[in-house]
Amino acid sequence: MKIESKEYRTIWFENNIVKIIDQTKLPHRFVIKDLKTIKDVINAITIMEVRGAPLIGATAAYGIVLSILENNDQSFLKKSADELIKSRPTAINLKWAVDRMMKKISGVNSNKIFEIALNEAKEICDEDEKFCESIGLNGLKIIEEIHNKKKDTVNILTHCNAGWLATINWGTATSPIYHAHKKGIPIHIWVDETRPRNQGANLTSFELNEEEVPNTIIADNTGGLLMQRGKVDMCIVGTDRTLSNGDVCNKIGTYLKALAAKDNNIPFYVALPSSTIDWNIKDHKDIPIEERNSDELSHIEGLDNKGNLRKLQIYPKKSKAINLAFDITPAKYVTGLITEKGVCEASTEGLKNLFK
Ligand code: MRU
């Protein structure tokens, strides 16, 4: 998708260097950053220069490629794989991508290993882009149906950033939105600010602006009122891990939006590629919920009136804060899962029919 009218993907490989768009600098600065070592990759994932479940997975895949360039000894690669998987615990795409890479290179001899790994990392990216495009076409039908009934602008609420910046291209939650916009269906997006890191305001609104999709940022607690006043036609969010029973783990605050949507009879959809499905964990209580530094709550970053980036403390110095990054929306609150294979019920049966 576009930044300043130029098409980009979120990650690419050039001259043995992984190139990323540094998302900690958006929306105020557009910086393309070089990752040259496995340490750079682990750091980029940990401090969220790259973020969003599919993009974390793709970056980790390239991490294995860089690791091979440093030292293709099996024990070094195994250590790199373990450290990558630990760098952010909740998004299942990370482990999925690392496991896929390690399987692909297992037993491969040293003069072929780099080429095979690089091709696999590229394949993970190409596949994600293709899957996200299909998610868009499948979700488009739902937006079209609402528009055909309403005959007016479709208002869609989204949380966090499940946009193209969170994937390779298109996004998950935003892909149906971009497809609808390209088709000329009038849409308007309510963008949850998404405290504490403001991925909605900083990333979703930014990328929608670049594609000229009408959007309005709202404080995270505004969605309920908008729903009660008939200003939301549907919600679409992404996910970091969806269980085979349809329970959805996503950015903190998603659950409360789903509850409000249920209370107001508003369809609540979750968009995801199959790489985000965890087929193993049966109980959402077993999903590792990332706890990040409470500085992300107590400090805020932005531009001062001279255009300099500044970080400010906004909480009392003595106050304690806890920063849990994800929550669980039980399947019963999810109207449907929009996947690359079609839309299904958020249930064991629904997912089984599509994927097994
Ligand atoms: O902490 P983040 O910014 O990585 O969280 C991202 C989300 O919660 C997204 O909704 C999810 O990863 C899906 S991205 C297509």
pLDDT of residue 175: 98
Q: Could you tell me which residues come within 8 angstroms of residue 134 by beta carbon, excluding any fewer than 6 positions away? A: 340, 341
Question: Is residue 242 within 6 Å of ligand 1 at its C-beta?
Answer: no
For 74, half-sphere exposure in the C-beta direction (CA atoms, 13 angstrom radius) is: 6
Identify whether residues 188 and 270 lie together within a single domain.
yes
Atom of ligand 1 at shortest distance to CA of 199? 3
pLDDT of residue 356: 82
pLDDT of residue 172: 99
Identify whether residues 103 and 162 lie together within a single domain.
no
Whether 192 is a known active-site residue: answer no
Identify whether residues 143 and 117 lie together within a single domain.
no
Question: Is residue 339 within 6 Å of ligand 1 at its C-beta?
Answer: no
Q: Strand 11-14 and strand 17-21: pairing?
A: antiparallel
Complete DSSP assignment for 147-191? HHHH-SPEEEEE-S--SGGGSSSS-STHHHHHHHHHTT--EEEEE
For 73-119, write each residue's pLDDT tens digit. 999 999 999 999 999 999 999 999 999 999 999 999 999 999 999 99
Question: Is residue 251 within 6 Å of ligand 1 at its C-beta?
Answer: yes
What domain range includes position 9?
A: 2-127
CATH number of the domain residue 22 falls in: 1.20.120.420
**Can you tell me the distance from the alpha carbon of 62 to that of 64, in angstroms, rounded to the nearest whole number?**
5
Question: Is residue 238 within 6 Å of ligand 1 at its C-beta?
Answer: yes
Give me the average pLDDT of each 10-residue run along the chain (356 residues).
96 98 97 98 98 98 98 95 98 98 96 97 98 98 98 99 98 98 98 98 98 98 98 99 98 98 98 98 98 98 96 97 98 98 98 94
Identify whether residues 275 and 165 lie together within a single domain.
yes
Identify whether residues 115 and 229 lie together within a single domain.
no
Identify whether residues 281 and 197 lie together within a single domain.
yes
Global confidence as pTM: 0.98
**Can you tell me the distance from the alpha carbon of 124 to that of 18, in angstroms, rounded to the nearest whole number?**
14
Secondary structure letter of residue 28 according to DSSP: T
**Can you tell me the distance from the alpha carbon of 248 to that of 250, in angstroms, rounded to the nearest whole number?**
6
Active-site residue, selected from the candidate residues 192, 240, 247, 278:
240
**Can you tell me the distance from the alpha carbon of 181 to that of 347, in angstroms, rounded to the nearest whole number?**
30
**Can you tell me the distance from the alpha carbon of 303 to that of 311, in angstroms, rounded to the nearest whole number?**
9
pLDDT of residue 303: 96
Which of 101, 127, 153 finishes a domain? 127
For 121, half-sphere exposure in the C-beta direction (CA atoms, 13 angstrom radius) is: 27
Number of domains making up the chain: 2
**Can you tell me the distance from the alpha carbon of 82 to that of 80, in angstroms, rounded to the nearest whole number?**
6
Identify whether residues 169 and 243 lie together within a single domain.
yes
How far the first Cα of the chain sits from its last, in Å, is 32
**Can you tell me the distance from the alpha carbon of 146 to that of 305, in angstroms, rounded to the nearest whole number?**
42
Residue 73 CA to ligand 1 centre (angstroms): 33
Identify whether residues 166 and 285 lie together within a single domain.
yes
Q: Strand 17-21 and strand 342-344: pairing?
A: unpaired
Identify whether residues 113 and 231 lie together within a single domain.
no
Identify whether residues 85 and 181 lie together within a single domain.
no
Identify whether residues 112 and 92 lie together within a single domain.
yes
Which of 106, 127, 148 finishes a domain? 127
Secondary structure letter of residue 331 according to DSSP: G
Secondary structure letter of residue 107 according to DSSP: T
Identify whether residues 86 and 197 lie together within a single domain.
no
CATH number of the domain residue 245 falls in: 3.40.50.10470
Which of 97, 127, 157 finishes a domain? 127
